[in-house]
Amino acid sequence: MLRRRTVTTACALAIGVITLMAAPTTAEADTGTTDAATTGSSVTGSSVTAIKPPPGMLDAMQRDLGLSADQAQARLLNESRAAAVESKLRKRLRDAFAGSWVTGDTSSTLVIATTDASEASAISASGARPQVVGRTLASLTAAKEALDRAAASAAPKSTPIWYIDVRTNSVVVLTSQPAEAEAFIAASGVDKSAVRVEQSAEQPRVLYDARGGDAYYINSSARCSIGFSVTRGGQGGFVSAGHCGNAGDSTAGFNRVAQGTFQASSFPTNDYSWVALNSSWTPQPWVNNGSGGNVTVSGSTVAVEGASICRSGSTTGWHCGTVQQRNTSVTYAEGTVYEVTRTNVCAEPGDSGGSFISGSQAQGVTSGGSGNCTSGGTTYFQPVNEILSVYGLTLVTSGGNPPPTGCSGYQQTFSGSLTSGASAYQPNGSYYQSTVSGTHSGCLDGPDSVDFDLYLQKWNGSTWVNVASGTSSGPDETVTYSGTAGYYRYRVHAYSGSGSYTMGLSKP
């Protein structure tokens, strides 16, 4: 089924002179490369290899750096080149090296700072821009280390940050009280001419992750376990058991650091609650698997009776069993709780509120039960979907992709199979011609547990170049490209894994 989609579009290359291009032959070899003109990259030469970025990186770069898809790809390529050039020049300059940095939206310019003006021409010849400065990186490092040594006794709370700034060839000290910072600098014995004080209100704090199954403390006394991370509007939080706390109660995390406040709670009749986190905590789509790792939550599809299910809690860790019966009523000393699910998973005090999960699907939060994890027992959980619905919460997951839809609605569909590392070309091992400008759309539906990618390629008169691609870490992709008339084909590539696929395409 179609599970994940990533869309990467490239702009059509504007050509000033229209020429008649020779049609490609079906035997034409695929270069496997992307034309720098279609990506906007300034990188040239065979020494730079385009490495597939991690899933979501290009999308995040576009969002957070204000880049287009082409600019994000070009930036990564330029930065890869810059790292190689910088390494060579650092070795050449030795003690005269004074730092390096890249500039521009696509990191198109590499600047190399040096104290040796005679090296400027060599730096330029390497494709970098030289900048002659007065202090070496080694001397700046020594100044910063002097501040580090003085910090144990002399650094005031108003002065929490200092760093080497190679762009200004100085050590920068950030402070809300310049006079206190000046005293700190003097006490360190550092050369004052190398240090620059900047006014700043920045007060760093340690950040923590909220994770299913981890402990939290209520009003500095009772302990329960986190169920699942959630959000409501822009507020992050987590769900847990209702008997763990009441609205207004404060919580502290596994490390006893202030964490949040109960927003709502219901017990008995129900056994659920939700806690809003403070800014020191980040809700994550994870459940503690009891062995130092995480199970990633991808949804909340209800498991059928008899299905395997596992529970994570702060007392007994990770234990598994099966779903016995849904829609169960259970009576505790405090009253009856309705519509919980009965399981043969064990639990003990302190596990309350912890995560029940089947595969990657969130199921519910631990309510109560009988027995223990030595002799075995029965445990009930409050279904998570009811909690989300009642409080208007959204489960934090690793998803964000549209639900499965398949490759329906396309003009043509094709099928095939691939082994890991292999490629196939569609339509039918050949190409198609578009006589007008317009939108090309492609869809790839691959088998589960593989990473298949989809590339739209255009003939440039001598070779095929990639003009659009879908390269997520999953089996399914879509691409959309607005292009001019010409010859096109799709390359289906098995990045990892093997199996059958279906591909759909539409053309202008």
What are the E-state strand segments in 94-221?
Answer: 97-103, 109-114, 129-132, 161-165, 170-175, 195-199, 208-212, 215-218
Active-site option among 188, 352, 358, 469:
352
Annotated catalytic residue 440: no
Active-site option among 271, 351, 445, 453:
271
Q: Where are the alpha helices (DSSP H) in 53-136?
A: 57-65, 69-93, 120-125
**Which strands sit side by side in the sheet containing 228-232, from one edge to the other?**
222-225, 215-218, 250-252, 258-266, 272-277, 235-240, 228-232, 394-395
User: Which residues lie below 8 Å from residue 421, measured CB to CB, with a gap of 6+?
Assistant: 494, 495
User: Which residues lie below 8 Å from residue 25, measured CB to CB, with a gap of 6+?
Assistant: none
Annotated catalytic residue 116: no
Element (H, E) at 506: strand 499-506
Distance in angstroms (rounded) separating the CA atoms of residues 102 and 277: 37
Annotated catalytic residue 352: yes
Helix-helix angle 69-93:57-65, to 10 degrees: 90
> What DSSP letter does each residue of 5-56 carry, written as one string?
---EE-PPPP-SS--PPPPPPTTPPP-----HHHHT----STT---PPPPTT
Distance in angstroms (rounded) separating the CA atoms of residues 411 and 376: 57
User: For residue 274, how many C-alpha atoms fall within 13 Å in the half-sphere facing its CB?
Assistant: 25
Six-digit token string for 223: 């302990």
Distance in angstroms (rounded) separating the CA atoms of residues 328 and 313: 22
Residue 78: phi, psi to the nearest 5?
Answer: -65, -40
| 470, 453 Cβ separation under 8 angstroms | yes
Active-site option among 243, 319, 440, 493:
243
Distance in angstroms (rounded) separating the CA atoms of residues 289 and 312: 7
Cis peptide before 285 (omega within 30 of 0): no
Q: Which residues carry out catalysis?
A: 243, 271, 352
